[in-house]
RNA sequence: GACUCUGUAGCUCAACUGGAUAGAGCACCUCACUACGGAUGAGGAGGUUGAGGGUUCGAAUCCUUCCAGGGUCGCCA
């Protein structure tokens, strides 16, 4: 058989089935309309062709159709060597040799599962995008891990990916921290306080809130109406004035703003480094909100938007089933949408070949992005229809939502540190790292701890809300990152030992024909390209996570049942070692797409 | 109220997009093995897929009506 690109088994079977159908029943079948699926384990066979939909065209009962089709497929040239029919299901047996040679050749490719870099359009992925007034928390972890993983998945599909964030560095929130620091800070800095910069600024944000509440209570006690007491509290007024001074470019205000944001960035950088995520370019709201205003006014001139009597600019989306939406206030100041329009257009300008943007943002902003993409389309960007809001659900705690006021926010740094510490305790007990120095051990604890966290947050379908039960999430057994790592490490250990014992040249040796449990493992490895493609199409890393787990479980069971190095026959050992090598490598690829680094020992 | 997402074992999650007897992990019970790394494997029990109706050879999946929960509907971000 001569094919340039590796032909996927299912496509091959569709082609054979289509030809077979025509020779049996006279009419041609569209190969894509033939549904091929994995055979359930309780029936003999590897692939199943569902014949119910075909019976109309064959003018025969489903079983009869399946029977004749099966016979024709076996006698055709190709990998089908047997079949059985259960009701309308045609179970096909694939030649074990087909699996064996596939494992030996195509699965050996260094880039197996990945498409060539640059073979798909340029995509921008935005994630993280925090406010600069408080530290990153559990919700940000889900956001960052998702965005980072989707970036890797798109890269594996051949896309050029640019990872960005929009830093929400301006507005009333940071002004609140600034005012509180001025009033109560006594010149405190991250150095003098011995505190990460983001934590320090967060501390003053909390201090602001407390001072504000105290003022409101005091004013109410003095007999003031609720509304007046809340809106006119001096510290709040001061924050609003600070914001106005900032917008006017007041030097002292801007200098403090720059200083305190700088502290935050240093703190964030440390957190991102620990998390293992990175960005190619940062966008700042303070740079883009003015651009947004210009672009909206341009759109107004071109008649895409409309102006109301008070001078505000609106977009009318009633024709798209939505509402009218404000783009610019009557006094000319920007709203959230204004700056997002500016940011999006700036990005298309920065990268002219950009095919689309992916926004990793919580599901409470779904409406916002619907509007944004419609606005971009109205401004004439064809990329708008390919832009995607990677919407994800909230991370909930057993006691409910995270509330900063109630102190139930799970801090990202604290959580990661806790995971590392648990990893250390378990590893010390196992005692497998005794030969390593302190620094290398620490690196392993971090990988193991982080794998637990990342896998836990990524294995759930992004669009669903998920429960973060601290007790369950730090589990290192069962369906967890560390379980997957453990089996990887074990496989690697066997390969090292094979090398040391002189069995390292298995790639060039004759290999036994796989039996059924081996074919199951090969089948899982064979799925990888489809899993990656589906994950990329749906922006859904959980598909990759679940594949990693299924593969690992199958290997773990196989490892339990068979001694790899202790195989009686040389050809059997070659098969088991080859399987182990392909398992570790394809698992490495899959986990890498989740942003999870694999250790060599743990 | 309108729109939207979700509802699957006691708990946390799957289910190849309409296929066969709905699967994993945790917790519970029973086993296996000096194990090439036990951070293991095998088995048991646990389900009217929120409820009703419909579509068809076939529904957790599609349509419809309810029920419950989340989210959105700001000149907030």
pLDDT tens digits, one per residue of A365-376: 999 999 999 999
The percentage of residues in chain A with a pLDDT greater than 90, rounded to a whole number, is 84
- Tell me the three state secondary structure of residue A372: helix
Greater model confidence, A398 or A553 = A553
H helices of A385-508, in order, are 412-430, 438-458, 470-473, 481-500
Does ipTM surpass 0.90 in this model?
yes
Q: Which pLDDT score is estimated for A4? A: 37
Q: Which nucleotide is nearest to A543 (CA to C1')?
A: B14
- Tell me the three state secondary structure of residue A138: helix
CA distance linking residue A28 with residue A559, whole number of Å: 46
Q: Which pLDDT score is estimated for A332? A: 86
Interstrand relation of A80-86 and A388-392 (parallel, antiparallel or unpaired): unpaired
CA distance linking residue A172 with residue A474, whole number of Å: 37
Q: Which pLDDT score is estimated for A2? A: 32
Q: Which nucleotide is nearest to A170 (CA to C1')?
A: B77
Strand B bases within 7 angstroms of protein beta carbons: 4-7, 11-17, 19-21, 24-27, 36-42, 57-58, 70-77
The mean pLDDT of chain A is 93
Q: Which nucleotide is nearest to A86 (CA to C1')?
A: B20
Q: Which pLDDT score is estimated for A18? A: 92
Task: Give the other-Cβ count within 10 Å of A226's Cβ.
Answer: 10
Residues in contact with A491: Cβ distance below 8 Å, sequence separation at least 6, in sequence order? A555, A559, A580, A583, A584
Report, in angstroms and rounded to the nearest whole number, the Rg of chain A calculated over CA atoms: 30
Distance in angstroms: CA A316, C1' B76: 21
CA-based torsion, A363, A365, A371, A373: positive or negative: negative
CA distance linking residue A13 with residue A47, whole number of Å: 9
Q: Which nucleotide is nearest to A498 (CA to C1')?
A: B36
Q: Which pLDDT score is estimated for A3? A: 34
CA angle (A455 as vertex; A451, A457 as ends), nearest 5: 125
pLDDT tens-digit readout, A196-213? 999 999 999 999 999 999
Interstrand relation of A395-396 and A466-467 (parallel, antiparallel or unpaired): parallel
Average pLDDT for A423-449:
93
pLDDT tops 60 at residue A116: yes
Among candidate residues A492, A502, A524, A506, the one with its CA nearest the CA of residue A578 = A506
Distance in angstroms: CA A483, C1' B24: 14
Interstrand relation of A354-362 and A120-126 (parallel, antiparallel or unpaired): parallel
Q: Which residue is nearest to nucleotide B14 (CA to C1')?
A: A546
- Confidence band (pLDDT; 50, 70, 90) for A6? low
Among candidate residues A579, A169, A110, the one with its CA nearest the CA of residue A343 = A169
Distance in angstroms: CA A577, C1' B40: 20
- Tell me the three state secondary structure of residue A540: coil
Q: A135 with A413: CB under 8 angstroms?
A: yes
CA angle (A479 as vertex; A476, A482 as ends), nearest 5: 35
CA distance linking residue A356 with residue A578, whole number of Å: 40
Distance in angstroms: CA A335, C1' B75: 8
Interstrand relation of A159-167 and A120-126 (parallel, antiparallel or unpaired): parallel
Distance in angstroms: CA A323, C1' B13: 37
Task: Give the other-Cβ count within 10 Å of A316's Cβ.
Answer: 14
Residues in chain A: 602
Q: Which pLDDT score is estimated for A407? A: 74
pLDDT tops 80 at residue A477: yes
Distance in angstroms: CA A535, C1' B59: 25
CA distance linking residue A83 with residue A20, whole number of Å: 14
| Residue that is written with structure tokens 């003022």 in the block | A215
Average pLDDT for A50-71:
92
pTM score of the predicted model: 0.95
pLDDT tens-digit readout, A257-290? 999 999 999 999 999 999 999 999 999 999 999 9
| Residue that is written with structure tokens 């055709």 in the block | A76
Interstrand relation of A89-94 and A324-328 (parallel, antiparallel or unpaired): unpaired
pLDDT tops 90 at residue A473: no
Q: Which nucleotide is nearest to A171 (CA to C1')?
A: B77
């Amino acid at each position: 058989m001569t094919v340039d690109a590796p032909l996927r088994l299912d496509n091959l079977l569709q082609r054979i089935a289509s030809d077979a159908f025509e020779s049996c029943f006279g009419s041609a079948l569209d190969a894509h309309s033939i549904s091929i699926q994995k055979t359930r384990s309780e029936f003999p066979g590897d692939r199943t062709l569902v014949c119910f939909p075909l019976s109309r065209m064959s003018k025969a009962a489903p079983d009869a159709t399946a029977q004749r089709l099966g016979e024709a497929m076996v006698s055709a040239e190709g990998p089908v060597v047997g079949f059985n029919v259960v009701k309308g299901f045609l179970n096909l047996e694939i030649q074990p040799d087909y699996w064996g040679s596939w494992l030996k050749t195509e699965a050996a490719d260094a880039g197996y599962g990945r498409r060539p870099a640059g073979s798909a359009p340029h995509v921008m992925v935005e994630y993280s995008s925090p406010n600069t007034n408080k530290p990153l928390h559990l919700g940000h972890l889900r956001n960052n891990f998702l965005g980072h993983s989707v970036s890797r998945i798109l890269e594996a599909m051949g896309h050029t990916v640019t990872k960005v964030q929009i830093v929400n560095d301006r507005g009333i929130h940071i002004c609140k921290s600034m005012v509180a620091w001025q009033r109560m800070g006594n010149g405190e800095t991250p150095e003098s306080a011995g505190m990460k910069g983001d934590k320090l600024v967060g501390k003053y944000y909390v201090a602001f809130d407390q001072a504000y509440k105290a003022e409101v209570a005091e004013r109410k006690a003095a007999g003031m109406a609720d509304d007046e007491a809340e809106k006119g509290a001096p510290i709040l007024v001061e924050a609003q004035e600070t914001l106005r001074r900032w917008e006017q470019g007041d030097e002292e205000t801007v200098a403090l703003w720059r200083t305190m944001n700088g502290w935050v960035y240093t703190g964030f950088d440390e957190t991102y480094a620990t998390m293992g995520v990175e960005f190619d370019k940062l966008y700042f709201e303070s740079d883009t909100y003015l651009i947004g205003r210009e672009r909206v006014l341009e759109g107004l001139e071109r008649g895409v938007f409309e102006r109301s009597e008070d001078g505000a600019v609106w977009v009318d989306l009633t024709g798209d089933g939505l509402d009218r939406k404000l783009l610019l206030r009557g006094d000319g100041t920007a709203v959230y949408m204004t700056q997002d329009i500016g940011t999006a257009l700036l990005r298309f300008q920065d990268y002219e070949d950009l095919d689309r943007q992916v926004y990793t943002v919580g599901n409470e902003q779904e409406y916002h992005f619907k509007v944004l993409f419609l606005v971009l389309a109205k401004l004439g960007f064809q990329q708008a229809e390919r832009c995607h809001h990677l919407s994800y659900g909230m991370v909930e705690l057993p006691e409910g939502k995270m509330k900063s006021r109630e102190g139930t926010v799970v801090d990202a740094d604290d959580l990661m540190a806790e995971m590392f510490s648990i990893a250390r305790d378990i590893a010390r007990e196992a005692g497998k790292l005794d030969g390593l120095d302190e620094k290398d051990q620490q690196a392993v604890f971090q990988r193991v701890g982080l794998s637990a966290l990342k896998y836990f947050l990524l294995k759930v379908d992004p669009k669903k809300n998920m429960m973060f039960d601290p007790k369950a999430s730090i589990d290192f057994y069962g369906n967890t990152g560390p379980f997957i790592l453990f089996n990887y490490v074990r496989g690697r250990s066997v390969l090292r030992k094979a090398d040391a014992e002189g069995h390292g040249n298995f790639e060039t040796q004759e290999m036994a024909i796989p039996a059924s449990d081996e074919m199951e493992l090969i089948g899982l490895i064979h799925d990888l390209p489809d899993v990656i493609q589906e994950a990329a199409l749906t922006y859904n890393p959980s598909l990759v996570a679940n594949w990693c787990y299924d593969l690992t479980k199958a290997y773990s069971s196989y490892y339990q049942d068979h001694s790899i190095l202790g195989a009686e026959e040389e050809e059997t050992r070659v098969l088991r070692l080859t399987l182990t090598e392909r398992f570790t490598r394809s698992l490495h690829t899959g986990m890498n797409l989740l942003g999870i680094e694999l250790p060599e020992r743990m």
